C-alpha cells in the first residue's frame, strides 16, 4: 500500500490558502479516481481505494500543519508501512509557482508540516513539492502561504491539480521522473509547430544556394 498524504490546515478559513495546496492535491486525486468517501481516522480524514491496480490510502491530517506527523505515524502503524511507502504532497516556496519536483529525504527547508513528519518517522519518505513561489523576504513568508491563491493564479492552479490527479498512477508505479514530466507538459504544453520549424519546410527557407536550393540549415544555440 502507498500512503498519499496531503498537508494543510483544517477549517474553512484556510481552505483556499497556498499552504493548503497539499489538501487540494489529495482532494483532486480522490475526486478524479472516485474513491470511497473520506472517513475520520488516524487523527485526520482518510480514504482507501485502488489506483493503477495498486492499493492506496489518501490521508489529510486534521491536526493542523505543525502536528501532521502524529496523523501520518498513526496510519503507518495501522497498516505496518515503512517511510518508503509514504508520499507527501505539500507547498514549496523555494519553487516557482506551478513547478513540481519530487524528492526523497533531505531537509525540511523550514516547512513545519514536513519538519513534524520527519520528527515522527524520519526523513526517508517521498515528497511531491508544489511550487507556490516566494514573496521575496522572510517577513512576508507567513502572510504569503496563509493567503488564498489570487485570481491570476487560479488557471494554473486548477490545471496543475487536474494533472496531479490524472497522472498519479505514474507516481504510484514509482516513476517520479515520468510523473514530473507529464505534469510539466500538462501545465505548460509545448508550442505547436510553425512553418519555420517544420522539417518539411526547411528547403523553402532562404539559404546559401545549391543546385537543388537546399542550403545548410541555420545552426541554433
Report the catalytic residues: 19
DSSP 122: -
- For residue 12, give every residue at least 6 positions away whose Cβ sits within 8 Å of its Cβ, in sequence order, or none: none
Q: Grid coordinates in use for 129?
A: 513539492
CA distance 149 to 23: 14
Instruction: Please give the grid coordinates belonging to residue 208.
Output: 546559401
Q: Whose CA is closest to 188, among 128, 103, 100, 93? A: 100
72 sits in which H/E element: helix 68-79
Residue pair 135/14 in contact (Cβ under 8 Å)? The answer is: no
Buried b (16+ CB within 10 A) or exposed e, 156-191: ebebbbbbbbbbbebbbeeebeebbebbeeebeeee
The dihedral region occupied by 64, where left means phi > 0, alpha psi between -120 and 50, and beta the remainder, is left
Amino acid at each position: 500500500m502507498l500512503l498519499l498524504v496531503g498537508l494543510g490546515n483544517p477549517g474553512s478559513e484556510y481552505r483556499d490558502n497556498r499552504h493548503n495546496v497539499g489538501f487540494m492535491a489529495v482532494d483532486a486525486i480522490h475526486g478524479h479516481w472516485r474513491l470511497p468517501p473520506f472517513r475520520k481516522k488516524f487523527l485526520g480524514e482518510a480514504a482507501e481505494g485502488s489506483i493503477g491496480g495498486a492499493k492506496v490510502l489518501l490521508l489529510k491530517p486534521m491536526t493542523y500543519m505543525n502536528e501532521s506527523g502524529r496523523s501520518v505515524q498513526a496510519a503507518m502503524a495501522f497498516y505496518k508501512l515503512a517511510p518508503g511507502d509514504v508520499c507527501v504532497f505539500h507547498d514549496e516556496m523555494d519553487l516557482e509557482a506551478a513547478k513540481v519536483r519530487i524528492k526523497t529525504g533531505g531537509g525540511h527547508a523550514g516547512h513545519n508540516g514536513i519538519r513534524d513528519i520527519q520528527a515522527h518517522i524520519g526523513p526517508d519518505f517521498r515528497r511531491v513539492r508544489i511550487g507556490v513561489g516566494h514573496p521575496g523576504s522572510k517577513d512576508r513568508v507567513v502572510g504569503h502561504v496563509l493567503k488564498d491563491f489570487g485570481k491570476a493564479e487560479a488557471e494554473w492552479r486548477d490545471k496543475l491539480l487536474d494533472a496531479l490527479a490524472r497522472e498519479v498512477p505514474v507516481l504510484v508505479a514509482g516513476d517520479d521522473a515520468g510523473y514530473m514530466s507529464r505534469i510539466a507538459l500538462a501545465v505548460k504544453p509545448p508550442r505547436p509547430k510553425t512553418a519555420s520549424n517544420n522539417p518539411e519546410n526547411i528547403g523553402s527557407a532562404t539559404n546559401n544556394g545549391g543546385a537543388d536550393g537546399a542550403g545548410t540549415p541555420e545552426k541554433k544555440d
